[in-house]
Amino acid sequence: MSLNAQAQLDQIAAEIVKNNVCPDLAKTAKHLVFGEGNPRAAIVFIGEAPGRQEDETGRPFVGASGKFLGELLESVGLKRTDVYITSILKYRPPDNRDPLPEEKEAFMPYLQAQLEAIQPKLVVTLGRHSLNCFLPALRISAVHGQVQTYKQWTILPLYHPAAALYNGSMRQALIDDFAKLPLITKHIT
């Protein structure tokens, strides 16, 4: 008997804890920030790692960049409950430093398992770290807003909302790229 998507996701989260993935990160984090949203979402958003507020709450994208992500979702007629939101790393790196290559590598099988459980039509990578986990040769500045393919997944690289909050040109590019979401998902089988 196969598990439903939510049960699969719960099992994957439990495996991260059981397998003690990135014990140094786990030791300094307050919560595992696994992901949330619709377990059968057509669109999955993947950030790089939880920040301070995410670590406090155990929920992804709840700080300023999460608020902006919510506004972007609303701009295309979506709510957080319509999509699934997660990150590569499931624990906050100390001092919000960038994820280390070995940390991304350690969490990648669990991220892949999340995608297998959800089976989205579209995977939206938010920022360079997320994009480079799937397509390491690409630069976010060159491919943002352009559909890519990785294995069986259709990938849409976008700037990270946090970067767009502090850079006006990135902000407008992110808003413009986000506007493409309904058309892109409509054309994916």
Mean pLDDT, contiguous 10-residue spans, the chain (189 residues):
82 97 95 97 97 96 94 96 97 93 97 97 96 96 96 95 90 95 87
Tell me 98's DSSP state: P
Amino acid 117: pLDDT: 97
Could you give the C-alpha distances from 135 to 19, 124, 127, in angstroms and in order?
26, 12, 12
What values do phi and psi take at 74, rounded to 5? Answer: -60, -35
pTM assigned to the model: 0.96
Domain ranges of the chain: 5-187
Helix residue spans in 29-125 (DSSP H): 52-57, 64-75, 101-118
Q: What angle do CA 147, 152, 153 make, to 5 degrees?
A: 40
Question: CB under 8 Å to 176, separation ≥6 — which residues?
Answer: 145
Spatial separation of the C-alpha atoms in residues 103 and 94, rounded to whole Å: 12
Report the run of H or E that residue 123 belongs to, with start and end. strand 122-126
**pLDDT for residue 1:** 37
Query: Is 157 in contact with 46 (CB distance < 8 Å)?
Result: no
> Do residues 21 and 103 make contact, with C-beta atoms less than 8 angstroms apart?
no
Distance CA 162, CA 96 (A): 12
Identify the pLDDT of residue 189. 64
Q: How many CA atoms lie within 13 A of 167 on its CB side?
A: 11
Superfamily (CATH) of domain 5-187: Uracil-DNA glycosylase-like domain (3.40.470.10)
- Give the type of residue at 10: D
Helix, strand, coil share of the chain (percent; to 5): 50, 15, 35
